[in-house]
Structure 1
Amino acid sequence: MKYLAFAAGLVGASAALAETPQLTVYTYDSFVSDWGPGPQIEKAFETECGCDLKFVGMGDGAALLARLKLEGARSEADVVLGLDTSLIAAAKETGLFAGSDVEADYTLPIEWRDDVFAPYDWGYFAFVHDKDLQAPGNFRALAESDLKIVIQDPRSSTPGLGLLMWVKAAYGDEAETIWQGLANNVVTVTKGWSEAYGLFLEGEADMVLSYTTSPAYHLIAEEDDSKTAAAFDEGHYLQVEVVGKLAGSDQPDLADRFIAFMVSDTAQSILPTTNWMYPAVMPEAGLPSGFDTLIAPEKALLLPNEDIPTVRDEALQEWLGALSQ
């Protein structure tokens, strides 16, 4: 009888497990790291939804889109979290995303209007360095210096692509000349942000392509105020990270609930000190202490989404040509 009761218990547990809906979210590696927002977001959302939230990390933001293009309508993903303003147009061209009607009181530096993607955080690209470094004030000065920098590959990384857009937005037709000047400063090009930042922390470069908010991590999490971001007088390129639902999702309602959760006060309060970006919706408690010490770019640069595919192709060829010489 004990064996029968035990077997019945297993059947009951299996049935309960089978009834638990699963939501699969593709995202970038740093989001699901132990120190990233993934673990806290997963715990908070599962408490609310009674579901199994499964994060799948795969490289950086640009790698996400490449994976989706490869999988097509066969993708197991219900939601993709981690594309950004430089990839929105290309993502929509795939026809893989469904509309989203999530509304929120966004506190972005730009007006947000998009019926497919919802923003969850934002920041400015910048070169991070030690405070004792005499940092350049623009790309021309950086190119004229002997400083060594680590950057990310624009074909796999959203910061890497953001850097191409930054140079293009600031210099237009002169971008190729800027890259020719910067080529000697580049120590290496990494696949993603984590690798690049790690090399910088190991002392392999003087500066690393990251965000104006990156020093907040060292200040708040490590009580280390030795890092800062260089303020460039051309302005800094804006990145808005977004979340979207796949048209082929077999959990469309749950996907909508997750997207709405990502702009809720619960999730937005988690992001500043785990993803180290500005929240898309200001939390009721405001920003954590330490964010007030960050540089504030005087000029925000952002190319129109519809122009980026064309600009990207041109900028990528300029970048490849300069770094291959």
Structure 2
Amino acid sequence: MKTRLFLPVLFLCCFSAVFAAGKKDSQKSQELVVYAYDSFVAEWGPGPELVAKFEAKTGYKVTMLSCGDAAQALSRVVLEKNAPKGDVVIGIDNQLYSRAVEEGVLQSYKPAGADKIIRKDLRFSDDWYLTPYDWSYFAIIWDSNSSVPAPKSLADLTKEIYRKKLILMDPRLSTPGLGFVTWTKGVFGDGYKEFWNQLKPNVLTMAPGWDAGYGLFTAGEAPLVISYTTSPAYHVEYDNTDRYKALIFPEGHPVQIEGAGIIKGSKNLKAAKEFMDFLISEEAQDVLPLTQWMYPVNGNVKLPPCYDAAPMADKTVGAGEGEVLEAVDTVLQILSN
């Protein structure tokens, strides 16, 4: 009798254990891990609202992790390439795109409806390792309440009147920081070294990221900072002021296109693909203008009135990635001497 009773109980226990383990694995497979940069994940950024909308829409649980700035997010994905822990990475832009592809850390995926939603000039490539979700121009933001006049060109930034008046970001860690180096290389060519030698006395600090640098600017530490043409829209909307101006220079401006991609080796591929589809939908893109302060790639999204304060550049300028990476090393040497 004891033997006969033991066998069914043993079977039941084993079945229960297998069922519980299966349920746990199923729940785990439903969790999507997304890497992003600080300002995206922040409570005032688009991350929390996007996560809430996606979870409500799909039933997946999303864990969105802050990795510092975008370059640091990519570095984390590269470090984990042999044992990926994330499923999606957000924030890799057109300046970091080639590195991401060369490292082989992204899986190609074209979101549903992408051809109709995303303009061709905003796409990274036909391989769809990255899907663009927003864009803007890099620009110098000037505090019109300051005692210095607005510079009228990139070259003007080297004038003595701007001594210790400019805040930049580390190009190794920050995409705006890298964008500024790209800008100087694109405009001055081989003369960028001379420009940086002349600019050096005017740089107050090179902050580790956009959050830190822009925070110093709004705290009044300096009247000039590298940011985006769309940045003044924030101050119009939430500070009810137009004191901060995005300056349009005749030399042209670099364009930043930010993208998201599926991490190669993702354990939650189905959820990752659904998230990519969601990211370019009107529902998700409508969140970006008043949280991300960039232009959405979905042209069906209506911009709020505060974007009237965001000027469009007359022309664009850029430089090859290899040239820019070499220039970064040179710039850091100039500033450290």
* Same fold by TM-score greater than 0.5: yes
Query: In structure 2, what is the equivalent of residue 175 of structure 1?
Result: 192
Structure 1 residue 294 displacement after superposition: 1.7
1:320 and 2:337 correspond: no
SS at match of 2:32: strand
Distance in structure 1 (CA, Å) of the matches to 2:195 and 2:333: 12
Q: After superposition, where does 1:273-312 map in structure 2 within 5 Å?
A: 273-284=290-301, 286-303=302-319, 307-308=320-321, 310-312=322-324
Distance in structure 1 (CA, Å) of the matches to 2:232 and 2:103: 36
1:130 and 2:143 correspond: yes
Backbone CA RMSD of aligned residues: 2.0
For residue 187 of structure 1, what is the amino acid of its counterpart?
A: L
1:139 and 2:158 correspond: no
* Structure 2 runs not aligned, ≥5 long: 1-15
Contact 2:236/2:309 (CA < 8 Å) preserved in 1?
no
Select 2:72's aligned residue among 46, 63, 79. Answer: 63
Structure 1 residue 130 displacement after superposition: 1.5
Query: In structure 1, what is the equivalent of residue 10 of structure 2?
Result: none
Q: After superposition, where does 1:170-249 map in structure 2 within 5 Å?
A: 170-249=187-266
Question: How many residue pairs get matched?
Answer: 310
Distance in structure 1 (CA, Å) of the matches to 2:224 and 2:122: 32
Contact 1:36/1:275 (CA < 8 Å) preserved in 2?
yes
Query: In structure 2, what is the equivalent of residue 164 of structure 1?
Result: 181
Select 1:96's aligned residue among 73, 98, 105. Answer: 105
Contact 2:185/2:324 (CA < 8 Å) preserved in 1?
no
Distance in structure 2 (CA, Å) of the matches to 1:169 and 1:159: 15
Contact 1:213/1:294 (CA < 8 Å) preserved in 2?
yes
Q: Percent identity?
A: 37
Distance in structure 1 (CA, Å) of the matches to 2:216 and 2:193: 26
1:118 and 2:131 correspond: yes
Contact 1:97/1:247 (CA < 8 Å) preserved in 2?
yes
1:40 and 2:49 correspond: yes
Structure 1 residue 299 displacement after superposition: 0.8
Query: In structure 2, what is the equivalent of residue 54 of structure 1?
Result: 63
> Which stretch of the first structure deviates more once superposed, 272-281 or 101-110?
101-110
> Which stretch of the first structure deviates more once superposed, 88-97 or 290-299?
290-299
Contact 1:73/1:96 (CA < 8 Å) preserved in 2?
no
SS at match of 2:204: strand
- When Rg is computed on C-alpha atoms for both structures, the one with the higher figure is 2
Distance in structure 2 (CA, Å) of the matches to 1:80 and 1:255: 10
For residue 294 of structure 1, what is the amino acid of its counterpart?
A: A
Distance in structure 1 (CA, Å) of the matches to 2:106 and 2:118: 25
Distance in structure 2 (CA, Å) of the matches to 1:295 and 1:252: 39
Distance in structure 2 (CA, Å) of the matches to 1:71 and 1:252: 17
Contact 1:104/1:263 (CA < 8 Å) preserved in 2?
no
> Which stretch of the first structure deviates more once superposed, 294-303 or 53-62?
294-303
Structure 1 residue 110 displacement after superposition: 2.3
Distance in structure 1 (CA, Å) of the matches to 2:333 and 2:225: 21
- After superposition, the C-alpha distances for 1:123-169 in whole angstroms (9 at most, x for unaligned) are 11111121245211112111014321111101111111111111111
Distance in structure 2 (CA, Å) of the matches to 1:181 and 1:139: 12
Distance change >3 Å, CA 149–CA 245, structure 1 → 2:
same
SS at match of 2:257: strand
Structure 1 residue 202 displacement after superposition: 1.1
What is the TM-score of this pair, normalised by structure 2?
0.87
Distance in structure 1 (CA, Å) of the matches to 2:122 and 2:172: 28
Query: In structure 2, what is the equivalent of residue 22 of structure 1?
Result: 31
Contact 2:235/2:244 (CA < 8 Å) preserved in 1?
yes
SS at match of 1:301: coil
SS at match of 1:282: coil
Structure 1 residue 248 displacement after superposition: 0.7
Distance change >3 Å, CA 111–CA 37, structure 1 → 2:
closer
SS at match of 2:116: coil
Query: In structure 2, what is the equivalent of residue 3 of structure 1?
Result: none
- After superposition, the C-alpha distances for 1:31-52 in whole angstroms (9 at most, x for unaligned) are 0111000111001100111110
Distance in structure 1 (CA, Å) of the matches to 2:118 and 2:295: 9
